Structure 1
């Protein structure tokens, strides 16, 4: 935890994440000013998801040929350059084309698609294995604090200035984040791996690693259930729930989003306080928290009392954070330094794909029937994931590397 490279990683990643939030807030403001179209705004998360999915699919090729630090640095450098160009185009109003703005969104998401797996895989290289729970907890607390404050600060900045100015200001955050990435010293030697046989087999390497290992395979089955079910917490479905079920104004939509991030921060603090207890009970806690997420989701879906909904959202944030840290630690303790970035690349691609498909499916259910049904279905899926974890509990034994 006292490793200078670890500090460079979390500071650099935090500034990059804060920049990502500011840039998205700025983009949404610009697009709304230009088009006043809800559909145009909905394209931003879709393009973002699509860019990350494509990047996640080709990440194994990059991870075999470049060190993690190189991928982190070049991703941030290229994101900074793209944002500079976009800022100039917007400030001087040389373009107002929706297509061009969305093209930049797609390219930046594409660069994030390989930076995120590299960042996650770098963390266990910089801290001892016995400190992984503490390091993951700290990383999560910082990340969720950035999310909690970033959207509020970004909104205030847009209100006081403009979307174009916020995007331009994000360049400064990106530059500092890039300098932080340069300071990381990866202690793990890099061995370039050339493709043997068909190049397509190289792109499926991460999938093969997951399939061959019972722990990785079973863990990702649970992740698939959660990736599909957790779509019910996206802004559009929550907005409908607040309006139609809770009977409240848009302000409560903001309260619920804030409550979720607050719960995530509390969950991270709990993990950092009870490190040894969590370390010694990873399998049991994985199953317990998986059932906990299902129960909280179901209770939220059937309540119509606003203050109870807020408490349940905080509870959901806590349990989601605890479950995420437990599964992350299990993966980091069992995977080799070569396997880990490829596994994270598969996760990124898989979750992005499922998010896109599920958001459309749950959105249609919320529109055609009752929004509460989406939460009931989500709770059932999460319960099935937890039940699978119970049935395959022998697979969740740590195989330290």
Structure 2
């Protein structure tokens, strides 16, 4: 945790994540002012998801040729350049033509598709094995702090300053992140392969690593189920739930979001504070968190009391964070440093694809059946994941915990 390069990593990610939030806030204001259309605002998350998915799919072609630090620094530097082009276009083309903005949004999201797996794969290279739980918890807290504070800060800035100034602030944050990423070094030696796979084999490598490893395959079955269930917390479904079930104004939608992310951040702080204890009891805590989030999600769907909804949302965020940190730590300890970037690349693509499909499915259920059924379905998926994990992972987790903490 005292590694200079790990410090550069989390500081660089802090500025990059805060910049990402402010950039979205500024773009939402600019696009709505230009077209006054909700449709153009819905294109923004679609381009973000599709761009990240595309970048994640192509990431294996790069990871065999460049160091992770170079890819992370390159991604941030290119994002800064593209953002500068976007700023020039917005500044000198008022009111702006929209399609060049969409192209820049997609390119920035595509470059983020490199950054996410590279950052996760770098953590076990920059810290000691026994510090992984603490390091993952710390990175999670940093991310949630910027998410929780960034949206509130960004909303305040849109009231005080012009939207273009928010984009300029994002550019400054991207520049600072790029400088830190460029200064970061990875001391782990590169291993050259005797057999160099073709491009098609490289693209499939991460997927095959997951499929051929029994533990990783089971982990990713759980990840798919839980990603599908997490769709219930997207804005569109929560918005309907607030109106149709809780019968309150849209302001309460913001309170539920804040409660969820507060719980998320509390889960990260909990793991950071009790990292050693958590490392010794990962199996039991993971089982409890998985069962807990299933119960809380179903309870949230049945509940119609406003203050209880806030408490349940906070608990859901807490359990989700604890569970995510533990499973991320297990993947890092189960996988070699060379294979980890390819596995994270496939994982991020799988998560993006699953999330996109289930957003449409759960959205249709909320529209044509009942929004409560969406939360019942999510709770059922989480219950399946908890049961599957308990049956298949229990013995492995017990064995691995003894191995890590001998």
TM-score range, shorter chain: over 0.9
- Higher mean C-alpha displacement, 335-344 vs 185-194: 185-194
Aligned to 1:369: 369
The alignment status of 1:132 with 2:157, answered yes or no, reads: no
1:122-180 per-residue CA deviation (whole Å, 9 max, x = no partner) reads: 11111111111111111111110110100011111112222222112210000000111
Aligned to 1:277: 277
Aligned to 1:210: 210
1:357-392 per-residue CA deviation (whole Å, 9 max, x = no partner) reads: 111111111111211111100100111111111221
Q: Give 1:195 shift.
A: 6.9
SS of alignment partner, residue 149 of structure 1: helix
The alignment status of 1:330 with 2:313, answered yes or no, reads: no
Question: Using the alignment, how far apart are the partners of 2:327 and 2:359 within structure 1?
Answer: 24
Q: Is the 8 A contact 1:65 1:192 kept in 2?
A: no
SS of alignment partner, residue 398 of structure 1: helix
- Higher mean C-alpha displacement, 93-102 vs 13-22: 93-102
Question: Using the alignment, how far apart are the partners of 2:118 and 2:278 within structure 1?
Answer: 25
Aligned to 2:56: 56
Given the superposition, is the C-alpha separation of residues 192 and 74 from structure 1 closer, same or farther in structure 2, using an over 3 Å criterion? farther
Q: Is the 8 A contact 2:210 2:343 kept in 1?
A: yes
Aligned to 2:344: 344
Question: Using the alignment, how far apart are the partners of 1:26 and 1:289 within structure 2?
Answer: 36
- Higher mean C-alpha displacement, 307-316 vs 127-136: 127-136
The alignment status of 1:308 with 2:308, answered yes or no, reads: yes
Q: Give 1:344 shift.
A: 0.8
Question: Using the alignment, how far apart are the partners of 1:251 and 1:227 within structure 2?
Answer: 26
* Corresponding residue to 1:398 among 388, 397, 400: 400
The alignment status of 1:165 with 2:162, answered yes or no, reads: no
Aligned to 2:143: 143
Aligned to 1:292: 292
Aligned to 1:17: 17
Number of equivalences? 401
Given the superposition, is the C-alpha separation of residues 265 and 377 from structure 1 closer, same or farther in structure 2, using an over 3 Å criterion? same
Aligned to 2:380: 380
Q: Is the 8 A contact 2:301 2:376 kept in 1?
A: yes
Question: Using the alignment, how far apart are the partners of 1:84 and 1:123 within structure 2?
Answer: 29
Question: Using the alignment, how far apart are the partners of 2:264 and 2:357 within structure 1?
Answer: 25
Aligned to 1:37: 37
> TM-score, normalising length from structure 2?
0.95
Question: Using the alignment, how far apart are the partners of 2:287 and 2:321 within structure 1?
Answer: 14
The alignment status of 1:224 with 2:224, answered yes or no, reads: yes
Residue correspondence of structure 1 range 50-129 to structure 2 within 5 A: 50-93=50-93, 96-129=96-129
Question: Using the alignment, how far apart are the partners of 2:194 and 2:81 within structure 1?
Answer: 30
1:244-302 per-residue CA deviation (whole Å, 9 max, x = no partner) reads: 11111121111111111110111111112222221122222222211111111111111
Q: Is the 8 A contact 2:297 2:375 kept in 1?
A: yes
Aligned to 1:389: 389
Q: Is the 8 A contact 1:265 1:318 kept in 2?
A: yes
- Higher mean C-alpha displacement, 350-359 vs 197-206: 197-206
Question: Using the alignment, how far apart are the partners of 1:108 and 1:398 within structure 2?
Answer: 38
Question: Using the alignment, how far apart are the partners of 2:51 and 2:320 within structure 1?
Answer: 25
Q: Is the 8 A contact 1:8 1:184 kept in 2?
A: yes
Aligned to 2:260: 260
SS of alignment partner, residue 64 of structure 2: helix
Q: Which runs of 5+ in 2 are unaligned?
A: none
- RMSD (CA atoms): 1.6
Q: Which runs of 5+ in 1 are unaligned?
A: none
Question: Using the alignment, how far apart are the partners of 1:323 and 1:155 within structure 2?
Answer: 30
Question: Using the alignment, how far apart are the partners of 1:242 and 1:362 within structure 2?
Answer: 16
